Amino acid sequence: MNNEKTVKDDIKFLLSLLPTWAKEVPAGFDPTMYGTGSYTGDLEVNKRVREIEDRYSGWEEENK
């Protein structure tokens, strides 16, 4: 297995393990319902997750 494929597979695997609250952030819940304890905190986590997904979404095509 080449290194690029290994890294891509590792990234996909790790992103698949993220809890739902890191991927979806509905507003208006009680703070205890948020993974970080606040809506704002969950938004920050979600923003970082989306940045990582976006960064590597086209990676497979670029490294064929």
pLDDT of the residue at 3: 84
The whole model's pTM is what?
0.74
Reported as half-sphere exposure (CB side, CA atoms, 13 A), residue 15 has a value of 18
Q: Is residue 57 predicted with pLDDT exceeding 60?
A: yes
Phi-psi region of 40 (alpha: psi -120 to 50; beta: other; left: phi over 0): alpha
Question: Which of the 8 DSSP states describes residue 24?
Answer: -
Q: Is residue 28 predicted with pLDDT exceeding 80?
A: yes
Domain boundaries, the chain: 3-62
Percent above pLDDT 90 for the chain: 58
